[in-house]
Amino acid sequence: MNLESNPLSTRIAALELENPTILASGIMGYSAESLHRVAKGGAGAVVTKSIGIEPRVGYANPTVVQAESGLINAMGLPNPGIDLYAEEIKYSKIVLRVPLIVSVFGYSAEEYAAVAKKAVDAGADAVELNVSCPHVKQTGSEIGQHPKLLAEAVEEVKAAISKPTIVKLSPNVTDITAIARTAVEAGADALTAVNTLKAMAIDSETMRPVLSNIKGGLSGPAIKPVALRCVYDVREALPDVPIIGCGGITGWSDAVEFFLAGACAVQVGSAVALEDTEVFQAITKGVKVYLRKKHYGSVKEIVNLAHRS
């Protein structure tokens, strides 16, 4: 398809997407078969589970708990380690017709770089650095909240690979624009805003936290207004970096709001539970109808429009 004439196409650094919906990291992203199924459900790109250098079994259950308007999860970054996962990346590249973004986590800048390099060598079209997982110590948010650590990780990864490096930002910071700026100055090609909000659930009957890890990350409709504000703020601070909106996107109108706030694509995660893998094509279809109704020729034309006033 000619992406120039496709009103739904979008570009994230060097990545060309046929539509602006992306599978968020952590959702169904272990196997090539799962990723393929999500792509067939209409995703314009897919992000894998977060992969580290060594295998991790993650936390004991409960790892997911239903909140009023979202889900709280603390999976604990379960993953088979990059060496084993490289085979899955290779196979994914054979079956997928959409860009494959490998989510990467590490305990040091060197680990981020080593995993990113192996992922790209296996065929990843881009990497997304999970520097914002809110419930695993010494990684994720610890790095995502410390400008110096974050800059080191991004620089090491950039030096190791030639594919786009996306940094997934944590909303659990005082000023998201400061961290975003650090990431971009260190070489990030794009940003994903945002990861889950630190949260917990307590059961009154047993008087205990429900998650085995006690704390986790809140996703789903509950965090949409916060995520939208984060995208808006980052766009104000950094007018040029591509932003992928993420947080509570369930339908086409959510996606449109993120485009208007400054995102050029959106990631969808929790909504897969509610509306299954077809949620991607449902969002894309709705966006298309919206564009026609509003007399816009493409998604690109509405990005940032909420900043006009």
Residue of 3, 14, 57, 289 interacting with other proteins (CB under 8 A): 57
Q: Is 133 a catalytic residue?
A: yes
Residue with Cβ nearer other proteins (262 or 269)? 269
What are the C-alpha distances in Å from 138 to residues 88, 105, 151, 297?
27, 11, 16, 45
The verdict on 144 binding other proteins (CB under 8 A) reads: no
Contacts with other proteins, 189-228, as mask; x by CB under 8 A: --------------x-xx-x-x-x----------------
DSSP codes, 241-287: S-EEEESS--SHHHHHHHHHHT-SEEEE-THHHHH-TTHHHHHHHHH
Strands (E), the chain: 10-12, 15-17, 21-23, 45-51, 64-67, 70-73, 100-104, 126-130, 165-169, 190-193, 197-200, 202-203, 208-209, 215-219, 243-246, 265-268
The verdict on 174 binding other proteins (CB under 8 A) reads: no
CA distance 54 to 287: 40
- The footprint of other proteins on this chain (CB under 8 A) covers a number of residues equal to 44
The verdict on 34 binding other proteins (CB under 8 A) reads: yes
The verdict on 248 binding other proteins (CB under 8 A) reads: no
- Segment 276 to 295, residues that bind other proteins, using CB under 8 A: 276
Cα four-point dihedral sign 128, 130, 131, 132: positive
Contacts with other proteins, 83-112, as mask; x by CB under 8 A: -xx---------------------------
The verdict on 7 binding other proteins (CB under 8 A) reads: no
The verdict on 29 binding other proteins (CB under 8 A) reads: yes
82 contacts 115 by C-beta, under 8 angstroms? yes
Residues of this chain that interact with other proteins (CB under 8 A) are: 26-31, 33-34, 36-37, 49, 55-58, 60-66, 71, 73, 75, 78-81, 84-85, 203, 205-206, 208, 210, 212, 269-270, 272-276
Q: Which residues are catalytic?
A: 133
